[in-house]
Amino acid sequence: MKTYKPARITIYTSLLISLVSAVVVLVILNRNGVEWFWAYTLLTFALIFLASYRIINYALANYFYHSIRIIYRNILQLKTNPSGTIPRKIPDDRIISEINRIIIDWEKGNKEEIDHLKEMENFRKDFLGNVSHELKTPIFTIQGYIHTLIDGGIEDQEINMLYLQKAARSIDRLISIVDDLESISKLEAGEMILENRTFDLNELIADVMESLELRAKEQNINIFFEPGKAAHNFVYADKERIRQVLVNLLVNSIKYGKLNGVTRVNIEDLGDYVTVDVSDNGIGIEKHHLARLFERFYRVDKSRSREQGGTGLGLAIVKHILEAHHQKISVDSTPGEGTTFTFTLKKSI
């Protein structure tokens, strides 16, 4: 935006007023046949120019730009400068363009903030809908079994214990969902304290794989561990939280693996860090799902996921645990060929 200096504005305005006034005086004097009308016209022009220049200059300096500076200070106080002081001297000829720039930047920032709030509102609605759906499923299941038992099923020896066991499994699922929600809330709020220490990652991976061996055999999945060149890989992290990460990733790999499929855990030394790959040759994930894979309750295959009994929070917890360690996780997948999750951990010094 083009701006003019105050002195130039004052001169242009004074000249215009003086010129108009001089022309009016000239016409009047000429019609009345006054001698020396040119001299009187020039004198009128000069006097009006000086008077208007003084008045306009005073008005601009003491009222207009003073008011503009108050507006400028208030804008800074609201937007960028809580102390309310002007951080640097802005010349009068630049103050309007500076205000214009601040307002444009402010508008842009507000638009981005509004867009973000709308996105968060949509996310909140989706989240509440997903939580409601996930909780209703086991609750209604428990309700159905309990009412059946109350209505006389408790006397039927063939179904009473079976229904109680099924209700107990639904309660366990309900507790798992609540526990995972609590964990995720603490992680997001930064309330979960990590108990970092040095431990052997190779040993932890072997321990986790051993604990999941029976589950893998049930799915006919073969699990292999490739520790790399080092016999030991010592890292500095919260051991139990990293165990949780590995369990979630391996359980996912087993759930969605192919019959007689393979899951591999590989470690690679990158100097100050190690990378851990958990890969399989399972069903894979379509590309459009990858960006949302770590969202709470997001499921690629909703029906199959619920059949497998997951809470839908495992990968979200994995992401938050690694972010709490200031590390990241990525995923690469090809439908029909398999999926690889990769994360990093800091090596122990």
With cut-offs at 50, 70 and 90, classify the pLDDT of residue 89.
low
Flag whether pLDDT at 52 surpasses 90: no
Q: How far apart are CA 243 and CA 226, in angstroms?
A: 17
- Return the structure tokens found at 232: 């030991």
Q: Which fold has domain 127-189?
A: Helix Hairpins (1.10.287)
* Domain ranges across the chain: 6-89, 127-189, 196-346
- Return the structure tokens found at 43: 């004198």
The CB-side HSE value for 220 (13 A sphere, CA atoms) comes to 5
- Return the structure tokens found at 23: 């022309």
Which of 11-25, 127-141, 306-320 bottoms out in mean pLDDT, i.e. has the lowest? 306-320
Find tokens 């842009």 and name the residue: 108
Whether the pTM exceeds 0.75: the reply is: no
Q: What is the DSSP string of 123-164?
A: HHHHHHHHHHHHHHHHHHHHHHHHHHHHTTGGG-TTTHHHHH
Q: Specify the higher pLDDT residue, 264 or 75.
A: 264
* Listed ranges 69-78, 129-138, 143-152; the one with the highest mean pLDDT: 143-152
Predicted local confidence at residue 70, as pLDDT: 66
Predicted local confidence at residue 7, as pLDDT: 67
Q: How far apart are CA 318 and CA 225, in angstroms?
A: 20
Q: Please report, to the nearest 10 degrees, the dihedral formed by the alpha carbons of residues 61, 67, 70, 75 taken in order.
A: -120
With cut-offs at 50, 70 and 90, classify the pLDDT of residue 303.
very low
Contact predicate 325/236, CB 8 Å = no
- Residue 96 buriedness (CB in 10 A; 0-12 / 13-18 / 19+): middle
With cut-offs at 50, 70 and 90, classify the pLDDT of residue 241.
very high
- Return the structure tokens found at 179: 């526990």
- Return the structure tokens found at 163: 């229904």
Contact predicate 332/339, CB 8 Å = yes
Q: Say yes or no: domain 196-346 is CATH 3.30.565.10.
A: yes
169-222 pLDDT per residue, tens: 888 888 888 887 888 787 777 777 889 999 999 999 999 999 999 888 888 899
